Amino acid sequence: MCGISGYISNKKLPLSAMINTLHHRGVDATGNIEKEINNRYVGLGHNRLSIIDLSENGNQPFSSPDGKVHLIYNGETYNFQELKTTYLANEKFTSSSDTEVLLKLYLLKGIDFVHLLNGDFAFAILDENINQLYLVRDRAGVKPLYFHKNETSLIFGSEIKAIIKAGVQPQLDTENLMNYFVFKYSPKSETLFKNIFKLPPAHIGTFDFNSGTFETTGYWQPKKQSNYSNISYPEAQEELRNLMQDAVEKRLISDVPIGTFLSGGIDSSIIASYLKNNTNIKHYCAGKAAEDLKKEGTTSDYYYAEKLANEWNLSLSKIAIGSDNTTLENIRTTIQYSDDLIADGSQIPSYLITQEAAKHSKVILSGMGADELFLGYAGHQLALIDGWLHKMPLSVKISHVLANLDQGKGKFKAFRRYLHKLGKYHNYPNYRFGIYTIVGDFENAASIFGNNKEKTIDLLSSYFPEEQNPFDAFTDFEHENFLQKNVAYFDRMTMSNSIEARVPFLDYRIIELAYVLPRNYKLNKFGKTKAVLKDAYKTALPNYITNRRKAGFGMPLRSIFSSEEKINELLDKDFFHQIDGLSMVHIERIIQAHLRGEEDNSALIYALISFQEWYKMYID
């Protein structure tokens, strides 16, 4: 993995500064090219993190023999050796890197070569022969790419900070602030920076030097790629095992040490099951204190990971994660790297784990993506229960009782949190199904920014129109939003420690399979989540792994914010008076309801703290 940055403008921009601000993404080498085309200046910059072919021959940019086509590339193409054999057998190479293979494939097939790639990537190709620049992002959006376009310039980078370094004035886009507080990230292609956008996954952005236009087009749709229309449940299990094994094996291609995040959950354990005999692989797990687990109402990842590691003779390292890690210093550190603001309690643990892992491993495999693809979240179970509740004669009365459950006191807190959400939103329109999967409470989040909910409701309703089966929409909704948030923070936290992240479940072939499987293969009629995945591996994994209750990976926010002193230490209440539209009255009510245990507003409190520090860092 690496960092890329660049520009097209009517004047030269500070390319060196753009490259330097992404140093953490590629500490092994830098490179750049600057050109002038049709009275426009062009700059391409690269920061290299050496993973395949560690020699100088793999340094970028790569250029064609005639010096007219140039490539800067972030990521890995896991089938590059197959492509090299199939299409480029007669070509001469100066390196053993996948980057050179991509350049030669482009010279052979044009931009359509992207359809051949199985990998995680974001790259830019400048073709002086046709006066075009292409920006390309992988199918699942594992690797990031942002851009800013105005009348005179196109500026892009792996992180927003590179665009700011080019001279773009950072401004808060208040139009997107409501969505941030509701989702705890910016959905779709939005960011909190005005006129800075994400290039969507599976898209190509094309700048034409002759016309000065920049257009983005999609090149892949998973639900249109199906060969599995009549697949049976046993066949789906077998196909999933075959694809998963190949996806893991492909992601072991590396010239540097590899590790995994092993949480003791089914997803990371499936990956580890293919690595049992590989003594060179190290595994890493966060360990929370018993007091935090009790307050959270969750189970211990490390207990299960350690048990599995002992049984499979895995090399497992424990990284202690607790309330004392939630400091302004750590929050600011994660925001420094995660400039596309994400308020997720998993960022600090990810940062700390990769900080430790970087001492031994330069590539990390993760089980991320399985929950979105195979309906693994509690919100998906709520959608199923919602259907049952609708059929009950006393559904209105039952939902009222559920809505009045206290969420933060007594036993079974985790269950009561979800039952409260079901009761509160059961009688909302169809967009309630999106609300079920959102972290935190929708109405509370909306209240702190003027209750101007129309844009957010329109977004949710576009995925969950009335009269449509919500399970037909969940895959798109999760894939295009929550999953993008997850891979974004995972990229930033691993790259902050110069580690490459790889996610086998997001191999595009597995995505295509998951998209066409019926709901009951993923979430069965009894509410069993990820059913096909669990059944596919029930003989390969111990029962204590396949049957354990899901535990979220993240800081113990509920435990941390049970203390008013801790909230006051982290939250600068005076700051929020300067943000037009924010209601301190509602913020105070939300905090006090949380402290009384009536509501669980921990995620929203963390979103407020994160926004406060982000604003001070980038906007003030």
Residue 393 lies in a domain: yes
Residue 49 lies in a domain: yes
Rounded Cα–Cα distance for residues 557 and 328 (Å): 14
Rounded Cα–Cα distance for residues 573 and 588 (Å): 9
Q: Say yes or no to pLDDT of 512 above 70.
A: yes
Q: Say yes or no to pLDDT of 135 above 70.
A: yes
Give yes or no: residues 442 and 427 share one domain: yes
Residue 275 lies in a domain: yes
CB burial readout 160-183, b (16+ within 10 A) else e: bbbbbbbbbebebbeebbbbbbbb
Helices 483-495 and 328-337: crossing angle, nearest 10°?
Answer: 100
The mean pLDDT value for 122-146 works out to 98
Give yes or no: residues 13 and 78 share one domain: yes
Residue 225 lies in a domain: no
Q: Which of 412, 407, 351 is nearest to 562 (CA)?
A: 407
Give yes or no: residues 166 and 261 share one domain: no
Residue 190 lies in a domain: no
Q: What is the mean pLDDT of the chain?
A: 92
3-class secondary structure, 501 = strand
Who's near 512: CB < 8 A, 6+ residues apart? 222, 225, 226, 228
C-alpha separations of 170 from 13, 164, 347, 523, 614 in Å: 16, 7, 23, 43, 11
The mean pLDDT value for 410-419 works out to 74
Tell me what pLDDT residue 225 has.
64
Domain count, the chain: 3
Residue 75, strand partner residues: 121
The residue behind tokens 């990230």 is: 185
Q: Say yes or no to pLDDT of 605 above 90.
A: yes
What token pair was written down for 44?
């391409």
Whole domain around residue 542: which residue ranges?
231-374+476-520+531-557
Residue 178 lies in a domain: no
Tell me what pLDDT residue 415 has.
76
Contact assessment for residue 247 and residue 239, using Cβ atoms and an 8 Å cutoff:
no
Tell me what pLDDT residue 367 has.
96
Q: Say yes or no to pLDDT of 552 above 70.
A: no
The mean pLDDT value for 406-419 works out to 72
Tell me what pLDDT residue 341 has.
97
Residue 99 lies in a domain: yes
C-alpha separations of 84 from 108, 119, 561, 585 in Å: 12, 15, 54, 62
Give yes or no: residues 550 and 614 share one domain: no
Rounded Cα–Cα distance for residues 602 and 594 (Å): 7
Rounded Cα–Cα distance for residues 603 and 620 (Å): 24
The residue behind tokens 């560690």 is: 54
Who's near 143: CB < 8 A, 6+ residues apart? 1, 74, 75, 120, 121, 122, 137, 158, 491
What token pair was written down for 88?
């480029």
Per-residue pLDDT tens for 36-71?
Answer: 999 999 999 999 999 988 899 999 999 999 999 999
CA 133: distance to chain centroid? Answer: 26
Percent above pLDDT 90 for the chain: 80
Burial of 29 (0-12, 13-18, 19+ CB in 10 A): middle
Q: Say yes or no to pLDDT of 501 above 70.
A: yes
The mean pLDDT value for 338-355 works out to 93
Tell me what pLDDT residue 400 has.
81
Tell me what pLDDT residue 279 has.
79
- Here the CATH number for the domain that contains residue 135 is 3.60.20.10
Give yes or no: residues 501 and 358 share one domain: yes
Per-residue pLDDT tens for 202-236?
Answer: 999 999 999 999 999 999 998 766 678 889 999 99
The residue behind tokens 């643990």 is: 349
Give yes or no: residues 510 and 592 share one domain: no
- Here the CATH number for the domain that contains residue 310 is 3.40.50.620
Q: Say yes or no to pLDDT of 289 above 80.
A: no
Residue 48, strand partner residues: 2, 29
Contact assessment for residue 272 and residue 312, using Cβ atoms and an 8 Å cutoff:
yes
3-class secondary structure, 498 = coil
Give yes or no: residues 31 and 54 share one domain: yes
Q: Which amino acid is at 376?
A: G
Reduced to 3 DSSP states, what percent helix, strand and coil does the chain have, rounded to the nearest 5? 45, 15, 40
C-alpha separations of 220 from 99, 114, 150, 374, 528 in Å: 21, 10, 27, 20, 30
Which helix (H) or strand (E) is 581 found in, with range?
none
The mean pLDDT value for 116-131 works out to 98
Q: Say yes or no to pLDDT of 408 above 70.
A: no
Tell me what pLDDT residue 411 has.
63
Per-residue pLDDT tens for 446-498?
Answer: 999 877 899 999 999 999 999 889 998 998 999 999 999 999 999 999 999 99
Residue 526 lies in a domain: no
Give yes or no: residues 215 and 237 share one domain: no
Q: Which of 298, 280, 337 is nearest to 415 (CA)?
A: 298
Give yes or no: residues 431 and 509 share one domain: no
Give yes or no: residues 123 and 263 share one domain: no
User: Does the predicted TM-score (pTM) go above 0.85?
Assistant: yes
Give yes or no: residues 328 and 464 share one domain: no
The mean pLDDT value for 570-590 works out to 91
| 132-137 β-sheet, strand order | 62-63, 69-77, 119-127, 132-137, 203-208, 214-218
Per-residue pLDDT tens for 3-43?
Answer: 999 999 999 999 999 999 999 999 999 999 999 999 999 99
Give yes or no: residues 235 and 358 share one domain: yes
Of residues 349 and 216, more confidence is placed in: 216
Q: Which of 388, 298, 312, 380 is nearest to 345 (CA)?
A: 298
